[in-house]
A and B are shown apart, each in its own frame.
Chain A
Amino acid sequence: MLDRPAAAPMVPKVVRVAAAQQELADVWTLNIDAGDSGFPFAPGQFNMLYAFGVGEAAISISGDPTRPERLVHTIRSVGKVSDALARLRPGDPLGLRGPYGGGWPLDAAVGSDVIIVAGGLGLAPLRPTLYRLMAERDRYGRIVILCGARSPTDILYRNELEGWRTRLDIEIEVTVDRAGRGWHGNVGVVTTLIERAAFDPAHAIAMLCGPEIMMRFAAAGLEKAGVSASSIYLSMERNMKCAIGHCGHCQFSSDFVCKDGPVATWADLRRLIVMREI
């Protein structure tokens, strides 16, 4: 597709941070200078980013696929590598390998209603899809975006969501797991939003991203609402060291999440994802 396997696929190229923006307490978005040729990618793909001396981490691409001149990554500090990456500032160099993985099924969604269910940082790998949907709005039916977050101060891309919400042609609902007095929105798990959303389940494609348990319940909720299991897509996540199918870490039964995934259908995942420790 958009990948040209490198002669030495384990060796990164060096790029630089052009801009850095704090999203949440432990979440930063880096805008990376992708050079003259830009960095074309498909929504749902990820890169391996290298922080000098610390290591590599798999980070989804979060930018606008229609504007590949800027490569955008949203990084949450959860370990020593992501922490080092989240601390990079304009001018800092980092290593880059990618893009890897299969993307979200945007072509399959043309002509259908699209339901996006994002939990926590799960909105980051889905944002490129949202950009694409907005850019070619008339190719799709109803668009429903459901977001779950820990609390109101943990809503990722909040300003952007609020901006999109002013559009009259998409539905955005947000719920949080807990809130204080200042929040006038929904509180509760994201599956409750599915019951209330307006879409035609017989002609809908759903794309889910977030903690695995959230995706499982959301997929079950969508199926209960009438969406077929083969129209529900989840983005799997596993330990990755190489991203090229050689290190073995990201295996989920027969699949290497890095190259057979990370996106897979609920129909394919369902039997195994409910088993423990697969």
Chain B
Amino acid sequence: MIEGMEQIVREHRFFADLGDDTIRLLAGCARNVVFKPGEYLFRTDEPADEFYLIRHGRVALDIVAPGRSAITFQTAGPGEIVGVSWLLPPYKWIHDARAVDLVRAIGMDARCLRDKCDADHDVGYQMMLRFVPMLVSRLQATRIQLLDIYGKQA
């Protein structure tokens, strides 16, 4: 079972080019998960205990505000990551993640991975190298969405 998970982790494009030791380490924090359409991977303010590497299906990231219906600001698909708030205190989710289709994913135990990053800074650095570019590109995309470029200008 662990070997199968190692293979799955190794093949996910997010973990490409990692050494065998690191893969083994990550596989130790990983498990297979499945979400039915409409099911939530996590909700706002819940502890960021597990993040997901999507293998199949689409996940909607929603922002919820009181008195308003949820707005989806991003969807993530196969090969993409859902959940970054596990990286930094207070380790709580700041949006909802909802399966749009049937979603198969690798769930990564956040606490397990944080401990491993603290113990081995090289692993921590490898995680940063992968997450930071993704964050920057998401941030840029969000800013463009904020511009509401298709909307009528004032």
Q: Are A179 and B141 in contact, CB atoms less than 8 angstroms apart?
A: no
A195 nearest CB neighbor, chain B only: B79
Q: How far is the CB of B145 from chain A (nearest CB, A)?
A: 5
Q: How far is the CB of B95 from chain A (nearest CB, A)?
A: 12
Q: Are B69 and A177 in contact, CB atoms less than 8 angstroms apart?
A: no
Q: Are B60 and A187 in contact, CB atoms less than 8 angstroms apart?
A: yes
Chain B residues, Cβ within 8 Å of A181: 69-70, 72
Chain B residues, Cβ within 8 Å of A121: 150
Count, chain B residues at interface, CB 8 A: 23
Q: Are A150 and B148 in contact, CB atoms less than 8 angstroms apart?
A: yes
For chain B, residues 53 to 86, give those with C-beta under 8 angstroms from any C-beta of chain A. 58, 60-61, 69-75, 77
Inter-chain CA distance A216–B7, complex, in Å, is: 39
With an 8 A cutoff between CB atoms, is A21 at the interface?
no
Say yes or no: A178-B70 contact (C-beta < 8 A), given A150-B148, A184-B100, A213-B147.
no
Q: Are A211 and B75 in contact, CB atoms less than 8 angstroms apart?
A: no
With an 8 A cutoff between CB atoms, is A124 at the interface?
no
Q: Are B72 and A189 in contact, CB atoms less than 8 angstroms apart?
A: no
Inter-chain CA distance A180–B60, complex, in Å, is: 10
Inter-chain CA distance A211–B145, complex, in Å, is: 12
B78 nearest CB neighbor, chain A only: A196
Q: Are A78 and B152 in contact, CB atoms less than 8 angstroms apart?
A: yes
Q: How far is the CB of B72 from chain A (nearest CB, A)?
A: 4
Inter-chain CA distance A148–B149, complex, in Å, is: 10
With an 8 A cutoff between CB atoms, is A183 at the interface?
yes
Chain A residues, Cβ within 8 Å of B73: 177-178, 187
Say yes or no: A179-B150 contact (C-beta < 8 A), given A184-B100, A184-B101, A188-B141.
no
Q: Are A213 and B149 in contact, CB atoms less than 8 angstroms apart?
A: yes
For chain B, residues 127 to 148, give those with C-beta under 8 angstroms from any C-beta of chain A. 141, 144-145, 147-148
Q: Are A177 and B100 in contact, CB atoms less than 8 angstroms apart?
A: no
Q: Are A191 and B141 in contact, CB atoms less than 8 angstroms apart?
A: yes
Q: How far is the CB of B134 from chain A (nearest CB, A)?
A: 12
With an 8 A cutoff between CB atoms, is B89 at the interface?
no
Pick 10 A–B contacts, CB within 8 A, sort by A: A26-B152, A150-B150, A175-B75, A178-B73, A186-B77, A189-B144, A189-B145, A191-B141, A192-B141, A211-B150
Residues of A at under 8 Å CB distance from B? 26, 78, 119-121, 148-150, 154, 175, 177-181, 183-189, 191-192, 196, 210-211, 213-214, 217
